Structure 1
């Protein structure tokens, strides 16, 4: 069972990418939230998933995915696996997904959930998201689902020329901005676009990563 009504609500809010809407329609968001939250999973609102983290509002998931303009076969790095919902959206678009989560208590269940769904080529890591995944770089696209105060240099460096990066940036308390950064094909300065005012949980930096392949 998917989320047909949710996808229609997102279309009315201005999500126009038919592929993104089809993925939202096909996925059951209730499978990615705690059992106590499943009755409200179809609502367009963020929900707690434990450990001080949330599953993002569906509109934000769709908006960020649309802004990333991900194409089938591209390699995408996701910072912040969370419950795996955004990961599933990226995978259903036909991408090869590398996803990093700093909290083992979230990473383990998300990996089990996503592997049961058989969504395609997924790679998992428990570790510091601000460090990215250097040995797998460069990436065609990078998405962050938690907010650093500023763009971590390692993430930009792991973006291929012509690649896109979408993530929220800003202070732990106060206004954050969702930005899209495009790395130029040659040595020019990056193109930075401000897309939307948002509120995300902070992106934390931890000890050197523990690898889970």
Structure 2
């Protein structure tokens, strides 16, 4: 009860800082019955200094992944990409020459997600990266409900091996949930695989 009250107060304070009324829809009750599963590819793992190079997302409704409703955007950035990050996501500076500006990309992403709940794997990092941009733009942080798949997986698994160490690596969760590895590591593929994990865990 207390947590719910505190959360409501935080949301109210967040909403009061909104600079553009056109984004009031982010705070409205979601009636779509959909979830948005999303992932970001970045120049590194430090939200304070690194930048987003791509965002991938897909909607889920009625236990189905709406593959016809995917979102993908590539973003120009001023941060130098490390060879390690390029090795992971395979996005080179040359691939971003015709990419969108951060502001255009983030606004398109907000239009796509609306007020739907957000789902992800280590979602806190991806949300931190998005918040890095929308806070100076709009004065707010993402108000959407957030669902972490590794947390659901942990809760499901700990009951089976209460004294064990739970391996929360993405590939391990994929394997144990019987989800095929789509191979290519990019934001959209990762979002779709995370959506499949989410649906498996929802049914568990």
* TM-score using structure 1 length: 0.27
Q: Which structure has more strand as a fraction of its residues?
A: 1
Q: Which structure has more helix as a fraction of its residues?
A: 2
Which has more radius of gyration?
Answer: 2
Larger relative contact order (C-alpha < 8 A, sep ≥ 6)?
2
